[in-house]
Structure formats: C-alpha cells, structure tokens
A and B are shown apart, each in its own frame.
Chain A
Amino acid sequence: SYGLTQPPSVSVSPGQTVSVTCSGDQLGRKNVCWYQQKPGQSPVLVIYQDRKRPSGIPGRFSGSNSGNTATLTISGTQALDEADYYCQAWDNNVVLFGGGTKLTVL
C-alpha cells in the first residue's frame, strides 16, 4: 500500500529556515497538504494543494512538491512554530498521512 515518509524530528534556531520533507512514490503527481499540530490541540491546515496558504497562515510557511518529495519550508522560524507537522495526500478515495515530524525551535 502507498505510504508517506517523514523524518521523526528536525530542529532549527530561531530566525532560521527549516524544511520538513515528505516522501512517497511519484508523490509529485498528487496534491499534498500540511498540518500543524500543537500539544493538546487539533491539527491546523497550513499548506494545501502543494503550495497554497489558507487565510490567516503567515507568509513564512511555503510548500513545494516534485518527483517523490513534498517539502514544507518555514522561513524566519519563530518559537511559536514549534509543533508536530503532518503531510497528507489523497489517492483513490483513501486519505494518506505521513508519520509526522516534530519541529523543535532551539
């Protein structure tokens, strides 16, 4: 079955740029979205259709998707961006989630 792979954790210093990857076979042919989840809270959509930002999501969040890898990039990372991030795709009426990446802002 199709799977999405994310690194378990990444870390970044405040103000720096960090990328979170999501890998899957020919993932570039699918639309990928990203969710941010903070402890005790519901997930929040931060990127949809590979690179679009919902209203209210800061411009420092961006996305791309090509080949076998989708990437969420946070520029000028802030302490409040520390959270778990999940990629998600859709394949023939099946919703697919990556395992999640814990972002630590050191």
Chain B
Amino acid sequence: QVQLVESGGVLVRPGGSLRLSCVVSEFTLSDYYMSWIRQAPGKGLEWVSSISDSGNTKSYADSVRGRFAVSKDDAQKSLFLQMTSLGADDTAVYYCARGRFCSGTSCYFDYWGQGTLVTVSS
C-alpha cells in the first residue's frame, strides 16, 4: 500500500543545517504534488513547503523562505527538505504528505508519513 517514510531528524545546534528525506512507495512521485508539514511540540500543524508534480513549482511558508529548500528525485522515489540557519522555532516533527488536486481552489493530503523529529538546541 501507499507509504511515506521520513528520515534525517536529529538534534542539531542553532545555526546548523539538516537534510530530511521522505521515501515513498506504491505511487509515482512525478504524478503528485508533495508537501512538508511540521508540528512543534504541543502545537498545531504548520505548512512548510511544497513541490509540484513536475518539480517546476516550489512554494514556502514565510517562516522558512530563504532558509529551506525542497527538492525531489523521482527515480529514487524520494522527497527532500534542505534546512539551513536552524533556530529553536524550527524544532518540530516534520511530516511529508501526498497532495491531491493541488490546483485552483483545492488541495488536500491523503497520505502522511509517520514524521521525523528535528530538535534545535545547544
């Protein structure tokens, strides 16, 4: 069945960098819009970044624009999130999620990974 498995979350010092990965199975990345969504401890969901099925359109939340970069490798069935200049506010569980019908006025996420925890602390 469809699966998304994130990895790469670790303890990192403020100002550091980190690369998260999300490996998918049972579907083709080039057919779907994909997103990263995070959740700080005890807080709500916060959208981080998205990449279109073609990879040509990338979007970012204001809180991470200029520091984070989303990419993917369709052949490797992998989605990535490169994070730089990390701060305490970036501490969260990071989920990758598969988007559906992400155009016009509709976009929703039908499958989510289990999440990977990023902790930014000295």
Contact = CB atoms under 8 A, between A and B. Distances in A.
Contacts of B100: 48
Interface string B40-77: 00001111001000000101011000000000000000
A10 interface: no
Contacts of A43: 45, 95, 109, 112
A99 interface: yes
A42 B46 contact: no
A90 B105 contact: yes
**Which of B50, B61, B101, B107 has the largest number of chain A CB atoms within 10 A?**
B107
Interface string A13-54: 000000000000000011101010100001111001100001
Contact of A93 (B57, B112, B113, B114): B57
A32 B3 CA distance: 24
B110 interface: yes
B27 interface: no
Given A48-B108, A54-B110, A100 B59 contact: no
Nearest to B106: A31
Interface string B90-101: 000001000011
Interface residues on B, range: 20 to 34
A102 to B, nearest CB: 10
Contacts of B106: 30-31, 49, 90
A35 to B, nearest CB: 7
A80 interface: no
Given A86-B44, A95-B37, A100-B45, A45 B109 contact: yes
Nearest to A42: B112
B73 to A, nearest CB: 22
B108 A93 contact: no
A42 B117 CA distance: 13
A90 B45 contact: no
Interface of B: 35, 37, 44-47, 50, 57, 59, 61-62, 95, 100-102, 105-110, 112-115
20 contacts: A30-B105, A30-B106, A31-B105, A31-B108, A33-B108, A42-B95, A42-B112, A42-B114, A43-B95, A43-B112, A45-B110, A48-B110, A54-B110, A84-B44, A88-B45, A90-B105, A95-B50, A97-B37, A97-B47, A100-B45
